[in-house]
């Protein structure tokens, strides 16, 4: 197509329901001839029908990959972007949804049309506002006209299927979900029309006509309706917010969501969008920023479009590949990822038979046309290349035609409505392949007859697929479950649980067991959830007892203590919560409270599970907190002196760490032997604190904090990093927790008590004659003590600052003195003994 430099070039940009396509159709019909390129064959077909009503069938052409209606006198052409006859000249040309130039798979086609498709008298580019920067960069002479949405689009939240308003469209992202939702609507609300890419155009038109005429109030569709298919829709409900894009399953972008949601509301009537409440549909909830972007029609501008040489060099096979791999030179363009047609061409370039035939420009051009056959069956470049190679060998024979008999035989093999869903879907894709071939006028001797034949086969297969989906995903499982819930002692279909926990009735999955929790199959209809739960409740009793027996017999390594900050302290079995810890008779003996999900167990089973979990907790407490338990037993030993027992009791109550001043009075009465007794219990009597060093280790610290939280009925607090010995002063409530974990407040920092004791011991060794500074500067620097912290620490252990070389001098500490022993003959000796007792 010629590049008409002086022809008006206009970019009409805006959200959905701005009348962009309607304007383009009006402008085209006002010219002597015209062409519009669309992203979908269904949209091209819809606009074709509108233009036929205006101009007459003999004046309008439809060209898509799989359908071609080309009257001899046609002047107005409606095409898919790939099928636009760029060699023809038209007075008017438009490209719809031009922002698809940013699509990795098809973007290079839209970019090529954006750059080169021009009308003799007028050219229009239609698309999203996000395309504006690319238009300014690539088409600096284009006039950009923004169009506001005719109506307001607002978020309506989530809705149950039974409460969807009339004139709603439900958008799903798989054929199975489309038909399941349609069947539910048939039962609840009298029926629904269905629109999806796998349907033939005639079937799709009949479905839409039924909806538009008001015979049904609901439409169930794939995201195909997002590309401009115009219907009387007041509300769009998303059955999911993720889809498989050919490479991976991903969440829809905000722009894609808006494209679909924008089908709600027509002309001046406002529309709403929301999510459909289908249990188990992961991620089916709009985020706040997505709702704002959709309602305000604000999306990030496109920063690049994908490009590939649209008029490649076909003089030689090597030159063709080089030109298709050429990188763009213009700003804003990015080389397109290798598409299927190029991947197939590269593979065929290595085929000796193909290379022997592709020896002149006409043969190379014909090869490239054959490589353009879409891979409808999604078989991949290697497999698809074998079909293309066979076609090319026919196309490069003497008559340059595909044998009519061989072609008819391939179509006849697909004309079979028997088989399961996957088989039928694959046959439809195969028919689309042969329909594409039939619409290449120079590839068959009688393309018209073959195109009609493939169209008939596609329609029969589409109808059969509809029936099969409805039967398999709706009727059969529902029938099985209803029979299972009929109250028979011996159900015809057993409930089975496989090694991965999947629960099935007969051959139909109804959910999954995770630990002792049954989760309904996420693909199940919302109205069937109660039925599925009832089936599980009625038939899974034996599975719960089986799992209880496995828990009881399992190794200790299969259990764990969950101590997530902000959550209750829980016991896990193989990663699943089975119990929580609650207050017991003392800190080291918490109560194991079985999770209510285990209520389905028999009384004996629950008791056995509780005993096994209690035994595991006792073993863990003994392993990690053994010294603390030993100190507690000593505190209860009546043979030990009361003062010693008092110190140990207060120490155990505080979890193995207590400020020395808190036990100063009883501690002052202890003699050397009694202090040795404390030391043998792995307790260190420090200058400022009495503590058990074992309790400062990460896992004992986690366990005693968890037991404290359980004893008080609180959630688990957040613990400092295991290697942290110095902390910046946190808020007051956190400081109290950290003090119980073994950190002492010293000015602007909190220091772990064993490090405080190291500083104290060093200072007293220097005071006793060791040649060194009073403050261990190396240790202070290595752990990051601030000067104010050091000052506070030294003052608390009994030193005061001094001038000169001696930075610190001993000033002594005031400690309670032990009561002086009365002489045996003293008059109050007996009374003193009684008071001390």
Q: What is the band of 481 on the pLDDT scale with cuts at 50, 70, 90? A: low
The rounded mean pLDDT for the chain is: 84
Residue 552 lies in a domain: no
Beta carbons of 240 and 173 less than 8 angstroms apart: yes
Min mean pLDDT across 178-187, 539-548, 768-777 is at 178-187
- Same domain assignment for residues 172 and 276: yes
- Is residue 520's pLDDT more than 90? no
pLDDT at residue 411 above 50?
A: yes
Answer yes or no: do 25 and 133 share one domain: yes
Is 428 inside a domain boundary? yes
Q: Is residue 1 part of a domain?
A: no
My answer on whether 325 and 451 are in the same domain is yes
Segment 214-230, tens digit of pLDDT: 767 888 888 777 665 66
Q: What is the pLDDT of residues 564-600, one digit of tens each?
A: 999 999 999 989 999 999 999 888 899 999 998 888 8
Residue 836 pLDDT grade (very low, low, confident, very high; cuts 50, 70, 90):
very low
Q: Which of 248, 263, 296 is the last residue of a domain?
A: 296
Q: Which residues pair with 658 in a beta bridge?
A: 690
Does 335 share its domain with 467?
yes
Q: Which domain holds residue 329?
A: 305-471
| Domain count within the chain | 3
| Residues 318 and 457 both lie in one domain | yes
At 166, is the pLDDT very low, low, confident or very high (cuts 50, 70, 90)?
confident
Nearest by Cα to 481 from 432, 435, 441, 521: 521
Strands 168-171 and 143-146, by their bridges, are unpaired
For 474-567, list the strands marked E by DSSP.
495-497, 502-505, 508-514, 517-520, 559-562
243, pLDDT greater than 90: no
Is-contact 170 162, C-beta < 8 A? no
Question: Is residue 334 domain-shared with residue 434, that is, in the same domain?
Answer: yes
With respect to residue 832, please indicate whether it lies within any of the assigned structural domains.
no
Distance between CA atoms of residues 707 and 764, nearest Å: 37
Classify residue 588: in a domain, yes or no.
no
Note whether 140 and 157 are same-domain residues: no
User: Is residue 714 domain-resident?
Assistant: no
Last residue of a domain, which of 108, 131, 146? Answer: 146
For residue 630, being part of any structural domain is answered with: no
Sheet holding 218-221, edge to edge: 153-159, 271-276, 235-238, 168-171, 218-221, 193-195
Same domain as 162, residue 60? no
Helix (H) or strand (E) holding 545: helix 541-553
| Residues 188, 283 share a domain | yes
pLDDT tens, position by position, 250-291: 888 888 888 888 888 766 678 899 998 865 444 468 888 989
Residue 418 confidence (pLDDT) above 50: yes
Residue 258: CATH number of its domain: 3.40.50.300
Specify which residues 68 forms β-bridges with.
63
User: Are 261 and 319 part of one and the same domain?
Assistant: no
Q: Quick check: is 56 in a domain? A: yes
pLDDT tens digit sequence for 702-720 = 998 999 899 888 899 888 8
Rounded CA separation 111/90 (Å):
19
Based on the domain organization, do 395 and 449 belong to the same domain? Answer: yes
In b/e form, how buried is each residue of 82-114, taking b as 16+ CB within 10 angstroms? bbbebeeebbbbbbbbbbbbbbeebbbbbbbbb
Last residue of a domain, one of 146, 178, 204: 146
- The confidence band for 246, taking pLDDT boundaries of 50, 70 and 90, is low
362 shares its domain with 314: yes
């Amino acid at each position: 197509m010629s590049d008409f430099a002086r022809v008006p070039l206009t970019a009409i940009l805006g959200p959905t329901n701005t009348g962009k396509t309607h304007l383009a159709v009006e402008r085209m019909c006002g010219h002597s001839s015209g062409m519009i390129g669309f992203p979908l064959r269904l949209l091209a077909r819809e606009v074709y029908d509108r233009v036929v009503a205006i101009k007459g069938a003999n004046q309008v052409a439809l060209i898509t990959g799989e359908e071609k209606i080309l009257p001899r006198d046609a002047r107005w052409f409606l095409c898919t972007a790939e099928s636009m006859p760029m060699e023809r000249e038209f007075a008017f040309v438009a490209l719809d949804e031009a922002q698809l130039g940013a699509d990795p798979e098809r973007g290079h086609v839209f970019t090529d049309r954006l750059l080169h498709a021009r009308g003799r008298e007028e050219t229009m580019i239609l698309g999203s506002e996000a395309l504006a920067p690319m238009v300014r960069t690539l088409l600096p002479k284009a006039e950009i006209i923004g169009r506001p949405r005719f109506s307001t689009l607002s978020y309506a939240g989530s809705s149950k299927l039974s409460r969807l308003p009339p004139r709603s469209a439900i958008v799903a992202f798989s054929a199975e979900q489309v038909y399941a939702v349609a069947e539910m609507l048939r039962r609840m609300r009298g029926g629904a029309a269905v629109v999806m890419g796998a349907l033939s155009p005639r079937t799709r038109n009949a479905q839409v006509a039924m909806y538009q005429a008001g015979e049904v109030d609901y439409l169930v569709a794939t995201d195909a309706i997002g590309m401009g298919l115009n219907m009387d829709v007041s509300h769009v409900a998303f059955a999911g917010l993720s889809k498989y894009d050919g490479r991976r399953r991903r969440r829809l972008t905000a722009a894609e969501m808006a494209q679909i949601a924008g089908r709600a509301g027509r002309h001046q009537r406002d529309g709403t969008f929301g999510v459909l409440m289908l249990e188990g549909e992961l991620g089916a909830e709009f985020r706040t920023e997505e709702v704002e972007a959709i309602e305000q029609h604000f999306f990030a501008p496109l920063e690049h479009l994908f490009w590939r040489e649209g008029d490649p060099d076909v003089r030689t096979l090597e030159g063709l590949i080089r030109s298709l791999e050429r990188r763009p030179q213009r700003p804003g363009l990015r080389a397109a990822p290798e598409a299927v047609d190029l991947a197939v061409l590269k593979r065929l370039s290595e085929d000796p038979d193909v290379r022997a035939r592709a020896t002149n420009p006409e043969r190379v051009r014909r090869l490239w046309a054959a490589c353009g056959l879409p891979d409808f069956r999604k078989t991949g470049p290697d497999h698809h290349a074998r079909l293309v190679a066979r076609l090319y060998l026919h196309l490069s024979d003497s008559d340059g035609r595909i044998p009519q008999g061989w072609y008819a035989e391939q179509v006849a093999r697909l004309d079979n409505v028997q088989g399961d869903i996957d088989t039928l879907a694959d046959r439809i894709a195969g028919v689309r392949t042969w329909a594409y071939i039939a619409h290449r006028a120079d590839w068959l001797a009688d393309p018209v007859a073959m195109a009609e034949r493939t169209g008939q086969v596609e329609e029969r297969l589409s109808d059969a697929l509809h029936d099969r989906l409805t039967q398999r995903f709706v009727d059969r499982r529902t029938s099985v479950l209803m029979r299972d819930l009929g109250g028979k002692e011996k159900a015809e279909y057993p409930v089975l649980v496989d090694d991965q926990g999947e629960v099935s009735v007969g051959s139909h999955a109804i959910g999954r067991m995770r630990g002792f929790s049954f989760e309904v199959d996420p693909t199940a209809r919302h109205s069937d959830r109660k039925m599925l739960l009832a089936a599980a409740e009625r038939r899974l009793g034996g599975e719960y007892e089986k799992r209880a027996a496995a828990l009881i017999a399992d190794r200790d390594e299969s259990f764990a203590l969950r101590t997530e900050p902000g959550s209750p302290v829980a016991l896990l079995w193989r990663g699943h919560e089975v119990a929580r810890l609650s207050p017991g008779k003392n800190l080291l003996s918490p109560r194991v409270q079985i999770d209510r999900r285990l209520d389905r167990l028999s009384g004996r089973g629950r008791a056995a599970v509780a005993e096994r979990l209690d035994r595991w907790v006792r073993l863990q407490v003994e392993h990690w907190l053994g010294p603390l338990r030993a100190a507690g037993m000593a505190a209860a030993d009546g043979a030990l002196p009361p003062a010693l027992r008092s110190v140990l009791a207060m120490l155990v109550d505080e979890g193995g760490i207590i400020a020395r001043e808190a036990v100063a009075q009883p501690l002052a009465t202890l003699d050397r032997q009694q202090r040795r007794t404390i030391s043998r219990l792995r307790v260190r009597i420090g200058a400022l604190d009495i503590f058990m060093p074992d309790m400062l280790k990460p896992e004992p610290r986690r366990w005693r904090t968890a037991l404290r939280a359980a004893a008080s009925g609180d959630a688990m607090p957040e613990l400092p990093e295991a290697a942290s010995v110095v902390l910046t002063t946190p808020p007051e409530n956190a400081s109290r927790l950290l003090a119980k974990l073994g950190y002492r407040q010293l000015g602007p920092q909190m220091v772990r008590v064993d490090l405080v004791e190291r500083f104290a011991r060093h200072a007293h060794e220097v005071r006793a004659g060791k040649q060194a500074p009073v403050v261990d500067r190396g240790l202070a620097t290595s752990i990051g003590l601030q000067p104010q912290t050091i000052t506070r620490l030294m003052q608390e252990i009994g030193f005061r600052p001094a001038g000169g070389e001696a930075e610190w001098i001993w000033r002594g500490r005031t400690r309670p003195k032990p009561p002086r022993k009365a002489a045996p003959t003293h008059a109050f000796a007996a009374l003193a003994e009684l008071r001390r007792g």
